[in-house]
A and B are shown apart, each in its own frame.
Chain A
């Protein structure tokens, strides 16, 4: 268990009989990794994270965060985890300094100099009231509060949602800096994939409460490929490939997206007599769209 900071087995959250937000989730987040938790809005990312922090009671299954059960030990988990909620609202009547003063006594590992350092790095004015801050600044304060107590695990729930691209980049830069300096485990949920790709080394894709895949990012990129077949005549109807995710037909050209690509398997396509066969690499966004897009075969 020690190699994973987050591990769940059959984790399920059912709000009502018909509304099952998370369905038997088996998630493993290795220690020291930057795990990007991908999913469309409403896929169940926030519900999962809230269960991991003990903020929501699971309906079934097991969950362990830093070796602890969130339902039984929410407080020790929260002490060791830095958490930035989706669109986190703090007390808007407090100043940044008051917010820091408010949170500090709750964490025995609070590092004042780190907090000061982060204040400077994020260029946050201490005396400014939360309600006066831009969304980006607000996110930075949330990140500062999540980091200043030197957590072992940082859980960020879609921290850049609602931010404009410039602020998002700025915010992301802050996270990247921290990750590189502190070598922490980061569990990062987002639906904006391009930014995740820059920092993540693991990825999990959640769709309608189900984990479609969970792999190291490079392995994912190796296994999910596009195969472009060009035919001279009519494209045969029965073209298939192991782990086929999506099939797109454009004139004489057939594009297959597959999830378990292996060079040897290409031989099986020879019997369809394509004029040319080309294997294309995919970026994370393409992979995500292939996995959760409406046209997906799987």
Chain B
């Protein structure tokens, strides 16, 4: 053995010293380059991590075996009383050690040595020192196989990329399986690297044994081995695919049993008759607003419609302008239409659910604008002392959101929450100004409006599963074709006919990763090879949405532990899990935050209900009660609990008024501090001065 290793070293030492010279020279070059020409970091990475290691691997792989053919020393070597196996492995590993030394030396010289006082390697980059040499072993093995097959170094070097591609394609299905069963990225990398190295080693060894040792054509052996590897690779992939299918089917069945909607067809709301459809009335309102906009042109800019302008921050003159517009009979007609719409039993805007995430939702911004207009109207009415009308206007605003409650689209539900928040802000001002102008009946109306509010995101989440996750997965699994609207959506990215399947383009565009790398990823992901991962991802997605839907039906407090456990599970920092469930995780985390928004809204609504009950109590008893308990069951049947603590809302009398609040998502009593700009930071409070 020693003598064989000595021989290999003597044969390759010239190359070794030459390579060391090249490393040193390449390291010195940047000192002489003009500063602006290239950044050292780029140079170091390109040269140190890629060019030099690749060159060394290719050359050493290609010359290690061919030297024996070129110099015709093969017969002499093989005539020695050594097994051909030993000759092969000694040769392979001796040169591999040399390669390792060269690659590590390159990495060290380029990354760990300081350049003009800066070191570009940090301790966290140790993985480079593992991944680069391992990648080079793959390249070296491929070059060995190529050289044994072609018996010529130059041709071997030229053909190595193709050999490499051949090996990768061969084991790709098995790699997908390994990806699924690996517990971490390190384990997967280990598996994938080992698999490729083993493949090339098997081919190299068999070629050596047949073509070199026994002088027999290796074609049959290579074909047979390829067939066996293909069989194992595709066989295991097929099994993984089957297992993933079963898991997915089971998950789908389970979800269906839980009543979760999975397909677009299930979430499309049933048709409604025109006379019951509030959407048609809203459309009239939108048209009317357009007319008003055209009529008032310049003055309209003070209207909080399609702008974030705050009415209370306008000057008196500007407020007067708004007041004038609101007194226009057309505006009165507009308000009457809104009152009619919020009282209709159903609302269905003309939405194309079949377009999936490409669906247009132009009504949402308009609905939000309507909420702002109503809030402005409430403010102006209150300013003018018309509290009763203001109260009615604010209550109409609160009902506005209900028109979106049936839309199985998460964003629609978020707009509903936003509209509710806008309406609630109106009451913040009103509660301090009513002073008897509002009757108990009006208060009761408000309580009943609050009671009718949808206080969960369930509908939106169900839709999101079908529209988002389910939509992509169905595209990926080839269960549905892309629609014309999606084609436009893809084309709007400016890259037409890029040659990838439509599903991939939709995914790439949707996730804002419209580059070649991500397209290759999505190509594999959406191809037959990616099916098991896709199915696993889909199953995970359904489980995830099921969990979220279940959690959305609970109060924030009771779902808290489960939510944080879930958040941890889907944390994107868990990189490998994120890779396995990439489509799921690209959408799921946002939903967790949406649940929080809903809870803030719920806390706001319920505490408003309590504040209203307290107002009624005062009208009946002349003062506010000492304890919150006093309003139930006299005014409301039962006391709602703070969703963030599961306890009573905090209430105390202050001066002539009171303060009532939920501690908010930070779960800390901030003494009733409320900041409308940062609703998650402080408490959700109602402060009434009289």
Query: Which A residues lie at the B interface, using CB under 8 A?
Result: 50, 53, 55-57, 74-79, 83, 85, 88-94, 101-107
Contact = CB atoms under 8 A, between A and B. Distances in A.
A205 B309 CA distance: 111
A53 B79 contact: yes
B214 A102 contact: no
B214 A56 contact: yes
Nearest to B2: A105
A50 B72 CA distance: 16
16 contacts: A53-B79, A55-B78, A55-B79, A55-B214, A57-B215, A76-B81, A78-B80, A85-B75, A85-B76, A88-B76, A91-B73, A91-B76, A92-B71, A103-B80, A106-B3, A106-B82
B214 A75 contact: no
Contacts of A83: 79
Contacts of A89: 71-73, 75-76
Contacts of A88: 75-76
Contacts of A57: 214-216
Nearest to B78: A55
A102 B79 contact: no
Contacts of A56: 214-215
B80 A106 contact: yes
Nearest to B72: A89
B496 interface: no
Given A90-B73, A92-B71, A105-B3, A75 B79 contact: no
B11 interface: yes
Contacts, number: 58
Contacts of A53: 79
Nearest to B213: A55
Contacts of A104: 3
Contact of B81 (A90, A93, A94, A106): A106
B7 A102 contact: yes
Given A89-B71, A91-B11, A91-B71, 19 more contacts: A53-B79, A55-B79, A55-B215, A56-B215, A57-B215, A57-B216, A78-B81, A79-B81, A85-B75, A88-B75, A88-B76, A89-B72, A89-B76, A92-B71, A101-B3, A102-B6, A104-B3, A105-B2, A106-B80
B3 A55 contact: no
Contacts of B80: 78, 103, 106
Contacts of B83: 74-75
Nearest to A99: B76
A74 B214 CA distance: 11
B10 interface: yes
A11 to B, nearest CB: 15
Contacts of B79: 53, 55, 78, 83, 85
Nearest to B209: A57
Interface string B1-37: 0110011001100000000000000000000000000
A97 B83 CA distance: 24
Contacts of A105: 2-3
Contacts of B6: 102
Given A55-B75, A57-B216, A93 B82 contact: no
Nearest to B79: A83
A84 to B, nearest CB: 9
Contacts of B216: 57
Contacts of A107: 81
A88 B75 CA distance: 8
Contacts of A101: 3
Contacts of A106: 3, 80-82
A172 B528 CA distance: 70
A294 B480 CA distance: 79
Contacts of B73: 89-91
Interface residues of B, number: 21
Nearest to A101: B3
Contacts of B214: 55-57
Contacts of A77: 81
Contacts of B82: 75, 106
A91 B7 contact: yes
A94 B73 CA distance: 12
A94 B2 CA distance: 16
Contact of A75 (B3, B75, B81): B81
B538 to A, nearest CB: 52
A267 to B, nearest CB: 53
A75 B82 CA distance: 6
Interface string B206-220: 000000011110000
A101 B11 CA distance: 16
A273 B650 CA distance: 147
A78 B213 CA distance: 14
A101 B78 CA distance: 17
A56 B210 CA distance: 9
B229 to A, nearest CB: 24
A93 B75 contact: no
A175 to B, nearest CB: 18
Nearest to A50: B215
Contacts of A79: 81
Contacts of B213: 55
Nearest to A91: B73
B76 A93 contact: no
Question: Which among B6, B72, B75, B215 has the greatest number of chain A C-beta atoms within 10 A?
Answer: B75
Contact of A102 (B3, B72, B78, B215): B3
A76 B81 CA distance: 7
A93 B11 contact: yes
Contacts of B71: 89, 91-92
A74 B7 CA distance: 22
Nearest to A53: B79
A273 to B, nearest CB: 58
A75 B213 CA distance: 13
A50 B213 CA distance: 11
Interface in B182-214: 213-214
A76 B82 CA distance: 9
A75 to B, nearest CB: 5
A83 B81 CA distance: 11
A49 B255 CA distance: 74
A60 to B, nearest CB: 14
A237 to B, nearest CB: 49
Nearest to A108: B81
Nearest to B74: A89
Nearest to B76: A90
Nearest to B77: A91
Interface in B60-116: 71-73, 75-76, 78-83
A45 to B, nearest CB: 15
A216 B76 CA distance: 31
A101 B7 CA distance: 11
A106 B90 CA distance: 14
A79 B79 CA distance: 10
A283 to B, nearest CB: 33
Nearest to B75: A85
Nearest to A102: B3
Nearest to B82: A106
Contacts of A74: 83
Contacts of A76: 81
A101 B73 CA distance: 17
Contacts of B7: 91, 102
10 closest A-B pairs by beta carbon, nearest first, are A78-B81, A57-B214, A79-B81, A89-B72, A106-B80, A75-B81, A105-B3, A85-B75, A56-B215, A106-B81
A92 B68 CA distance: 12
Contacts of A50: 215
Nearest to A16: B217
A87 to B, nearest CB: 8
A93 B67 CA distance: 12
Contacts of A102: 3, 6-7
B502 to A, nearest CB: 51
A9 to B, nearest CB: 20
B635 to A, nearest CB: 100
A103 B6 CA distance: 12
Contacts of A85: 75-76, 79
A159 to B, nearest CB: 13
